[in-house]
Structure 1
Amino acid sequence: MAEITSLFVTRLYRAQLSELGKPVDAAELEASCLSIAEDDEAGQDWCEKNGYPGYTSYASLTDLGWRSPIFADLIKVLDKHVAAFAKDLEFDLDGKKLKLEDIWINILPEGGTHSSHIHPHSVISGTTYVAMPTGTSALKLEDPRLPMMMAAPTRKKDARRKLRPFVYVAPEVGDVLMWESWLRHEVPMNMAEDERISVSFNYRWG
């Protein structure tokens, strides 16, 4: 009998924040995101200058954990989820922990997109979802081998999920999704009238 196995697996972590640690109040977190965005003139200027739809604090704020107690609580919970994911990935961390490198707010209005990208210099990246209105964008993940498949036929539309070149994941409020930072991903156009709000993060080693 022929044996077919899967090699070089790409892992995706999905859980509710509340599964590990103190629950984070979604309404308070959303209010904090909106308040910070309103006050962050440097972030607003960066978004306008770089043609970024909506708002991100990625280029302007590095102290969200100090700026708002709800973010300090969030970081404590994220640390636990990252540790669980690192254990699943069987990383040899040589006695060191993965540490938070960046955490930032994303507010995507109707019609906004976030183009395909990776997170260089990090180990684990992810997002937790604060406001996901009906009809808003799923997260789109890309098979990292795709550039090397130039001679391969396309997959069938009903191919098994693990064989598809792109996978769409529709998170819910309170979810945390994580992946290894080399995995290319994007947020397609937000088709909802309301804003899509999330908090993204990177963890590094050493």
Structure 2
Amino acid sequence: MTQITSLFTTRLYRAHLSAFEPAIDAPEMEASCYAIAEDDAAGQDWCAENAYPGYTSYASLTDLPWRFPIFSDLVTVLDAHVAAFAEDLEFDLGGGKLVLEDLWINILPEGGTHSSHIHPHSVISGTTYVAMPDGTSALKLEDPRHPMMMAAPPRRKSAREELQPFIYVAPKVGEVVLWESWLRHEVPMNMAEEDRISVSFNYKWLDA
């Protein structure tokens, strides 16, 4: 009798922010992102010095929930989503908890990309989507086994999703996507004329 099973599952969490309260107003969030980007001279300088397309607050601001109440509300909602994902992952936190480590804005203009990367030292990473114009890039996720595949042949284009080397996730405005921080991901080139706006974040394990 032949038996084939799947091992070492990679989980991906997708939900609407509104699954938990308080409600997050999308237009207010978008306006807040632009207002912060306009006022953040240090962030603008960092983007220019590092040839970063568009704007990110990653290297300049660490207090977004303090600056704008809507970001404080967002953290409350994200805490609930991350807790739900951690439960699905069956983490044994040993009496500790997952807490927000970083939260930053991404404004990616036409032609902008964000190259493949992971988030070291974090447990769960994710993004919630503020503006996703038609034709903008999806989130690209990479099979974490790639470095170990060595001489493996390519997969068929028709291969089942769980066997594909890359998965493209096209979130909608107001959706939150979570993954374990070791999962390599990237944002391919934004082909839309309008900005692609998102808020990304990391959660770390705070031991008891």
User: Which category of TM-score, normalised to the shorter sequence, fits these structures?
Assistant: over 0.9
For residues 6-64 of structure 1, the C-alpha deviation after alignment (integer angstroms, 9 at most, x for no partner) is 10000000000001222200000000000000000000000000010000000000000
Superposed displacement of residue 71, structure 1:
0.3
TM-score when normalising by structure 2: 0.98
Alpha-carbon displacement from aligned partner over 1:172-197 (angstroms, at most 9, x marks no partner): 00000000000000000000000000
Deviations 1:98-126 (A, max 9, x none): 00000000000000000000000000000
Superposed CA offset, 1:113-167 (max 9, x none)? 0000000000000000000000000000000110111211100001000000100
Q: Distance in 2 between matches of 1:24 and 1:5?
A: 41
The separation in 1 between residues aligned to 2:22 and 2:185, in whole angstroms, is 29
State the partner residue of 2:156: 156
What percent of counterpart residues are identical?
78
> SS state of the match for residue 189, structure 1?
coil
Secondary structure of residue in 1 paired with 2:129? strand
Give 1:102's aligned residue.
Answer: 102
Q: Take 2:158 and 2:192, find their aligned partners in 1: how far apart are those partners?
A: 27
- 1:44 aligned to 2:56? no
Secondary structure of 2:9's counterpart equals: coil
- Mapped to 2, the partners of 1:36 and 1:55 lie a distance apart of 10
* Farther off after superposition, 146-155 or 120-129: 146-155
1:16-31 → structure 2 map (5 Å cutoff): 16-31=16-31
Q: Output the CA distance in 2 between the equivalents of 1:26 and 1:157.
A: 36
Q: 3-state DSSP class of the match of 2:77?
A: helix
Match of 1:201 in 2: 201
Q: Which SS does the other structure have where 2:176 is aligned?
A: strand
Show the counterpart of 1:147.
147
Structure 1 unaligned blocks of 5 or more: none
Match of 1:70 in 2: 70
The letter for the 2-side match of 1:147 is P
Q: Secondary structure at the match of 1:116?
A: strand
Distance across 1 between alignment mates of 2:188 and 2:150: 24
- Distance across 2 between alignment mates of 1:57 and 1:68: 14
Letter in 2 for 1:101: E
- Say how many residue pairs are matched: 206
Name the counterpart of 1:119: 119
Instruction: List alignment gaps of at least 5 residues for structure 2.
Output: none
Q: Following the alignment from structure 1 to structure 2, what is the Cα–Cα distance between the partners of residues 144 and 37?
A: 33
Runs of 4 or more, structure 1, over 2 Å off, are none
Q: Does 1:10 align with 2:10?
A: yes
**In 1, distance between residues paired with 2:90 and 2:75?**
22
Give the letter aligned to residue 150 of structure 1: M
- The residue number in structure 2 matching 1:185 is 185
Q: CA RMSD in A?
A: 0.5
One-letter code of the match for 1:14? Answer: R
Query: 2-side partners of 1:52 and 1:178: how far apart?
Result: 24
